[in-house]
Copies of this chain bind each other. A is one copy, B any other.
Amino acid sequence: MRAGPSQEEIRRHNLGALLRHVHLGGPTSRAELTSRMGLNRSTIMALTADLTAAGLVREELPRVTGRAGRPSLVVRPESAKVYVFAFDAGVDRLRAARVGLGGVILDRREADRERGPFSLDGDVATLVSFARQMQRKTRDDTVCVGAAAAFPGGIGNPGGVVRFAPNMGASDVPLGEELARRLGLGLPVTVGNDANLAALAEQSRGVGVGSRDLIYLHGDVGIGGGVIVGGQLLGGHQGYGGEVGHMVVNPGGRPCGCGSRGCLEAEVGERALLEQAGRFGGGKIGREAVRAIVDAADRGDVMVQESLGHVGDWLGFGVANLVNIFNPEIVVFGGMLREIYLGAAARVRSRITLTALAAARENLRLRTSALGDDVLLVGAAELAFSHVLADPLEALARVGS
């Protein structure tokens, strides 16, 4: 019920909107921006001039014009010069990337991680050393405008405190502050729930582009969820929304790390699958173990097929519930759930058909992540860029470029 915006607010909004166009859509001609943004040519020219002066975009002649007359200049994001650091702290692996404006992964590092409690000392040191290594390789005319991390847990923001993360043995861990302190770039480090960031990544650059109602399900050791409702990420009252892995699908079922029983995570997670396939406590764990199971099922191992089908059935129950609750346009399976879904798609689909309301599922699409193993890095990078897209000049003024 606020009053309308001022002219200056409109200008800032438009600067952000133009930058978002080229950040997500890639190089775009002024003519195209004029038509897409519904603004006149002189306004587009002025906005582009401001963003060019700030070093965020540059204009150049298009390579091929196809038309007679003076060609419209193309506006490109300064991907090689303006970048963020993106971190992905997974149970089995630590990853970091330097990501340029426009979403280009310019450089990356990763290392395996021993399962066990997340360490604000060792694990953070590894992530920070990755960033330092990558930063040393940058040219002098580059500028880091942000940093963000994806983490498999409930995050209290602002400040990026990990409130709970049973699969990482973490509770009330001030991850954002510690990363910022050790990075020493004078920049805050935002922290987001991994599946939430993946949902945003798939919606902005993956299989869900254009969808306003998307559910992303991430399988690691646990099951995380990111839900986009009417174009907005479901945060909830304190930001812990989307914990669909702890929806009980099987009351009295398998014990879950959260203390409850029969959660989606307990019935569909890595441990449930390995145990039922008779492969728990053996050699392989994590993604490698899940891939081996799906391969064995493909080769005709009946016991493994049955365990995969069983897990697929519970996954179907979970998805059917979410379809009835959210009426999504698309459900995306990422992380380990990509393999599980591909290995048990028929069971998942059949359970959804039996359980979800016909109207709620009639236009439903089930898809695997298009961004694959990069989904969390891409999502963290988008989070790191978000303040630049919200108010480009203000954000740059803050990093002092």
Contacts and interface: CB of A to CB of B under 8 A. Distances in A.
Contacts of A17: 1-3
Contacts of A321: 247-248, 321
A239 interface: yes
Given A4-B13, A230-B234, A260-B354, A242 B320 contact: no
A240 B327 contact: yes
Contact of A239 (B4, B13, B225, B327): B327
A243 B154 contact: no
Contacts of A1: 17, 20-21, 36-37
B164 A251 contact: no
A235 interface: yes
A185 interface: no
Interface in A104-137: none
A225 to B, nearest CB: 8
Contacts of A235: 230, 327
Interface string A153-192: 0101000000110000000000000000000000000000
Contacts of A399: none
A66 interface: no
Contact of A232 (B3, B10, B230, B240): B230
A212 B241 CA distance: 13
Nearest to A37: B3
Interface string A319-335: 01110111111000000
A342 interface: no
A355 B260 contact: yes
B355 A248 contact: yes
Contacts of A247: 321, 324-325
A33 B225 CA distance: 42
A327 B20 contact: no
B14 A236 contact: no
Contacts of A163: 359
Nearest to A314: B251
Contacts of A164: 357-359
Contact of A320 (B248, B324, B359): B248
Interface string A346-365: 00000000111111101100
Contacts of A248: 249, 317, 320-321, 355
Interface string A214-254: 00000000000101011010111111111110111111000
Interface centre among A3, A20, A227 (most CB of B within 10 A): A3
B154 A236 contact: no
B154 A357 contact: yes
Interface of A: 1-5, 9-11, 13-14, 17, 20-21, 36-39, 43, 154, 156, 163-164, 211-213, 225, 227, 229-230, 232, 234-244, 246-251, 258, 260, 317, 320-322, 324-329, 354-360, 362-363
